Structure 1
Amino acid sequence: MVACLHFAAHLLRFTLRFLLVALWVIFGLLVLATVFRRLEVARRDRVNNWWSRWLLRWCGVRVYVSGRPPVDGPALLIANHVSWLDIYALSSVRCTIFVGKRELRDWPVLGWLIAGVGTVFIERGNRRAVHHVAQAMGERFGRGQLIGLFPEGTTSDGLDVLPFHAGLFEPARRAGVPVLPVALRYLHHGKRSTLPAYVGDESLLGNAWRVLGTTGVAVQVVYLPSVVPAEEDADHRHAMATRVREAIRAEVLA
């Protein structure tokens, strides 16, 4: 009996939240198709920030911010990658334009949204693609935008940090913009949890069933001090990636 009641409550929450999220996504697509591209960059960023905050509310996910988020100006934001929620958690603090793998563009509906807000897509294993992505990053830095990067290249369970790929640290170094480490830690009813983790062969709908159907999901977004390349580093890109990963990993394991 208790199990049946629990399932019914889970199903009801999932259904209501899924409908709210679906309507919010449709609204987002309408905005993209009509007025979004006509807005200046600063207004686009504010719309993205506002839309992301409400998406997380419809999902029942709370965001707790610590540290000093960048208020304005360009920067390269580096974070560990756990869930599809990461993008919206970071953009809910300040609009972040992400560098994402090409496969994200093929996600049903969400792929359209991710592409529509200016995401820079990279094709894994294509060295030429890195050059084009670096150019696109430089253009966005020039507009004063915040670029987000998940250098693990895939998601993890959120309890540790995978090795970093250092290739896309170079555009930030050349542009002279700060590199800002951010640690993401997910909680469920106040305790560290892997529940929101989107890993392996799990479907997006399957992950959404867990997240939208429960209560008490939260994400801690911890902004750490900026990292700059040291003069004595022979290889700025790899040395910086190592220091950023160590900073994030120390916070994730704390």
Structure 2
Amino acid sequence: MAVVLFVIRSVFVVVWILSGLLTELLVFPLLSHRWRQCVVGAWSRGLLALCGVRVRVLGQPLRKDPGLWVANHVSWVDIFVLNCVRTTSFVAKSDIRRWPVIGLLVAWAGTLFIDRGRRHAVREACRQITGCFQQGDVVGLFPEGTTTEGLDVKPFHSGLFEAAVQARVPVQPVALRYLRHGRPAPELSFVGEQTLVANLWVLLGAWGVAVECRFLPPIVPDAESRRGDLAGRCHALVQQAVQSS
């Protein structure tokens, strides 16, 4: 049954991905920033529906005005999950840009790529994040710097929190949990040496998949805020939510 489900979903997902790439090439140049965000949000919801992934939103996400969402990182799916809640500009490692197909899609979704090997990479990323804040956007950040199985949370890198501190925009911790029939599902994570094809085989052949997004109370930086302290507070809140749910 899993094989049949995988084949059926794969056909629809491929068609949906092609439609997204064509939209980027032919339609996006004609749209305003606001309408691009609407298209990306609708497309992300369609993608997850075709993949058989339900999104459960808990808490009160920032729906308006600029902000920084900081979440634990489990899979390539995370970007599209958060886009279902509110279209988001993401910060991701530059090597994701080179992933087959997915790299094109996350770039289309408004991802800001950072090359951590460059000397001034963090400074440049903060400048781009500030530009997003000035447009009224929410920016998504995965400060672990890598994916995990979703059962624990690695320490948060603090560098990019500086943009929120300087702009005095709210920082909202977000805990992501991948579930299958209501239970934690580490097999859905995209970690280690697993290939994208192998991950899709598990995801598209599975029933009862849901991603729980728990939006925790925002933290508003003030004149005394330090990025390291802010990152530590967010990490503690996300870790507690992931482990206690």
TM-score by length of 2: 0.97
Q: Deviations over 1:190-214 (max 9, x none)?
A: 1112121111000011001001011
Matching residue of 2:191: 199
**Largest Rg, 1 or 2:** 1
Aligned residue type for 1:17: R
Q: CA deviation at 1:230?
A: 6.0
Q: Which residue of 2 aligns with 1:39?
A: 31
Helix, strand or coil at the partner of 2:85: coil
Q: Distance in 1 between matches of 2:18 and 2:200?
A: 17
Return the TM-score normalized by structure 1. Answer: 0.93
Give the CA deviation at 1:135.
Answer: 1.0
Post-superposition Cα deviations, 1:149-172, rounded to whole Å, max 9, x if no partner, equal: 000000001001001100000011
**Alpha-carbon offset, residue 38 of structure 1:** 2.4
Q: CA deviation at 1:112?
A: 1.2
Amino acid at match of 2:113: F
1:240 to 222, 225, 230: 230
Question: Which runs of no fewer than 5 residues in structure 2 stay unpaired?
Answer: none
How far off is 1:232 after superposition? 5.2
Secondary structure of the equivalent of 1:71?
coil
Aligned to 1:155: 147
Match of 1:223 among 211, 215, 235: 215
Tell me, yes or no, if structure 1 residue 253 matches structure 2 residue 243.
Answer: yes
Matches of 1:100 and 1:114, distance apart in 2: 9
CA distance in 2, matches of 1:232, 1:43: 37
What's 1:110 paired with? 102
Between the two proteins, what is the percent identity of the paired residues? 46
Structure-2 change in CA distance of 1:232 and 1:142 (3 Å) = closer
Structure 1 residue runs without a partner (length 5+): 1-8
| Pairwise CA distance, 1:231 | 5.6
Kept after mapping to 1: 8 A contact 2:88/2:140? yes
Q: Distance in 2 between matches of 1:174 and 1:38?
A: 33
Cα distance, 1:175 vs structure 2: 1.1
Paired residue total: 244
- Equivalent residue for 1:27? 19
1:61, 1:149 → 2: CA distance?
Answer: 21
Cα gap change, 1:143 to 1:230, in 2 (>3 Å): closer
Query: Paired residue for 1:98?
Result: 90
CA contact (8 A) 2:169 2:221 kept: no
Could you tell me whether the CA contact under 8 Å between 1:164 and 1:241 is conserved in 2? yes
What is residue 67 of structure 2 aligned with on the other side?
A: 75
Given that 1:228 and 1:240 are in contact with CA atoms closer than 8 Å, whether structure 2 keeps it comes out as: no
Cα deviation, 1:48-84, whole Å, max 9, x if unaligned, reads: 1111111000000111101011111111100000011
SS at the partner of 1:247?
helix
Distance (Å, rounded) in 2 between the aligned partners of 1:83 and 1:127: 27
Q: What are the superposed Cα offsets for residues 119-170 of structure 1, whole Å, 9 maximum, x if unpaired? A: 1100123231111111111111111111000000000010010011000000
- Structure 1 stretches of 4+ with a deviation exceeding 3 A read 229-233
Deviation at 1:37, TM superposition (A): 3.0
